[in-house]
Structure 1
Amino acid sequence: MKIFVAGASGVIGRILLPKLVEAGHEVTGMTRRKEQGQAIEELGAKAVIADAFNLKQMVNIISENQPDVVIHQLTALSQGSSAENARIRMEGTRNLVNAARQANVKKIIAQSISWAYEPGDEPAMEEVALDVHAPLPRSTTISGIAALESAVTEIPDYVILRYGTLYGPSTWYDKNGATAGQVRNHELTATDGVSSFIHVEDAANAAFLALAWPTGTYNIVDDEPAKGIDWLPVYADILNAPSPELQLGAGGWERGALNTKVKNVCGWNLHYPTWRTGFLEALR
């Protein structure tokens, strides 16, 4: 197949591209930074430099490439700005979908998140509503996700991957990442808030396998949703960092998510079923 990957130079894209190439697909990887073009080509894909906020440019590139599938991995996380990330999810996705529709693309696979659900007492399944009534600043993130997912469903065959918190190489949870730095500086408190994690290798593999998955929305998380009082001390210990302070309480939306649907419907298997073993390998 001809596959167009938007956001090909991101932490998932860099793992995904070789998988697609090795499977025999004709892959085009898009990045907005010229310096990333060579890295994309070294992974075996054709590189294109484009700005997702430029609709005309997106239409021209997608029409020229005529992909069978578009894989949407666009984010704006490097500056840690939720507003900029929401913007690319809204405006960038809108342009990507419009361009794909004009080129008669039949399938799109898109990155979403699994911590956008409305508050609840248990880890969320996919039928739980998004937290569209959340107050600021959380509403900025939710608005971006809601717009992204709504736009993606305009493509006849879509797969929305609601990723858990990413860890592994080049993520914030890498040993040299921002979160690791906060833990070493004793800046994070362990609470009862529940997180669902996913190793970047499993996240990229899900995007690869989704080429054959049926239309739908899937939580791409590991098997063990975990309270901060459980996972953060383990993470700190592996880093040889100070033990975090513990604090009771959590936000209602800090509930985690379950991967039951993607396992039952798609037969998905994880290389890292739990953050407990995944952290050890990722941080050693």
Structure 2
Amino acid sequence: MRIFVAGATGAIGRRLLPLLIEAGHDVIGATRTPDGAQHLRALGAHAHRLDALDAEAVTAALAEHTPDVVMHQLTSLAAGNPADNARIRIEGTRNLVDAAKRAGVDRIIAQSISWAYEPGTTPAREQDPLDIHAGAPRATTIGGIRALEDAAAELPHHVVLRYGTLYGPGTWFAPGGLMADKLTAGALPANDGISSFVHVDDAARAALAALDWANGPVNIVDDEPAPARAWAPVLADALRAPAPEPTEGGAPWERGADATLARSRGWHPAHPTWRTGFHAQN
């Protein structure tokens, strides 16, 4: 297949491109920077300089490359600002979907998140509703996710990958990343809020596998949803940072997610739990 990867130099994109090329696909990677373009060419992909927020440029890019599939891995996380990420999900996805329609592209695989579900007492499954009644500031994230998933569903063939919290190279949880700084500063609460994780390599493998999956959302998470009081000390040990003291509390939506559907489609993570995965980041 001819695959256009938006966000090709992000944490997942960098791990995904070699998998796509190894599988025999013709890959066009989109990036904003010259260094990113050089990296993509070194991997064996075609590189296209692109600002996903420029609708005309996105339209021209898909018209030029006429891919079979758009792989949407766009994020805006460098500044840690939810509004920036929501904007790329809303405007960037809108631009990609509109451009795909104009270019006759009918397939998209898009990156979403698995912690956007409404509050509950068990790990969330794909049929559970999103947290559409969330208040600020969470409403910003949920609004971005709703816009992304609704836009992707306008194409006849669409898979939405609801990733767990990413860890591994290029993420906030990697050595020297944001979470290491938070642990050092004593700013990471080890409370009762439950998270589901996924290593970036497993996330990339899911995106490759999704080329053959049926429409709709799919949770991509490991096998062990856990409260922060369980995983934060393990992360601290892996990052050689001070372990936080356990505390009580946590938001009702912090419930983790269930990946039974992904398992039924043949995806099995190489890192089935953060307990060992955190230590495999180096």
Q: Normalised by the shorter chain, which TM-score bucket?
A: over 0.9
Unaligned runs of 5+ in 1: none
Q: Would you say 1:199 and 2:199 are equivalent positions? A: yes
Letter in 1 for 2:257: A
Distance in 1 between residues matched to 2:222 and 2:249, nearest whole Å: 23
Shift of 1:136: 0.5
1:1-284 aligned within 5 A = 1-264=1-264, 266-283=265-282
Shift of 1:159: 0.6
CA RMSD of aligned residues (A): 0.9
Question: Residue deviations 1:185-232, cap 9 Å, x none?
Answer: 322120000000000000011001111111121000000000011111
Letter in 1 for 2:46: K
Q: SS of 1:108's equivalent?
A: strand
Shift of 1:182: 1.1
Shift of 1:235: 1.3
Distance in 1 between residues matched to 2:25 and 2:59, nearest whole Å: 22
Answer with 29-38 or 69-78: which moved more.
29-38
The aligned length equals: 282
Distance in 1 between residues matched to 2:235 and 2:60, nearest whole Å: 46
Distance in 2 between residues matched to 1:51 and 1:236, nearest whole Å: 36
Shift of 1:133: 0.8
Do the aligned partners of 1:188 and 1:245 also contact (CA within 8 Å) in 2?
A: no
Distance in 2 between residues matched to 1:229 and 1:241, nearest whole Å: 15
Shift of 1:107: 1.1
Percentage of identical aligned residues: 56
Answer with 219-228 or 242-251: which moved more.
242-251
Q: SS of 2:27's equivalent?
A: strand
Shift of 1:184: 2.3
Distance in 2 between residues matched to 1:212 and 1:280, nearest whole Å: 32
Question: Residue deviations 1:72-102, cap 9 Å, x none?
Answer: 0011001111001100100110000000011
Distance in 2 between residues matched to 1:244 and 1:51, nearest whole Å: 40
Shift of 1:174: 0.3
Distance in 2 between residues matched to 1:263 and 1:105, nearest whole Å: 28
Shift of 1:180: 1.2
Letter in 1 for 2:105: V
Shift of 1:237: 2.2
Unaligned runs of 5+ in 2: none
Do the aligned partners of 1:190 and 1:247 also contact (CA within 8 Å) in 2?
A: yes
Letter in 2 for 1:109: I
Distance in 2 between residues matched to 1:240 and 1:28, nearest whole Å: 38
Letter in 2 for 1:24: G
Shift of 1:239: 2.5
Q: SS of 1:169's equivalent?
A: coil
> TM-score, normalised on structure 2?
0.98
Do the aligned partners of 1:5 and 1:70 also contact (CA within 8 Å) in 2?
A: yes
Do the aligned partners of 1:219 and 1:259 also contact (CA within 8 Å) in 2?
A: yes
Distance in 1 between residues matched to 2:80 and 2:248, nearest whole Å: 27
Shift of 1:259: 0.3
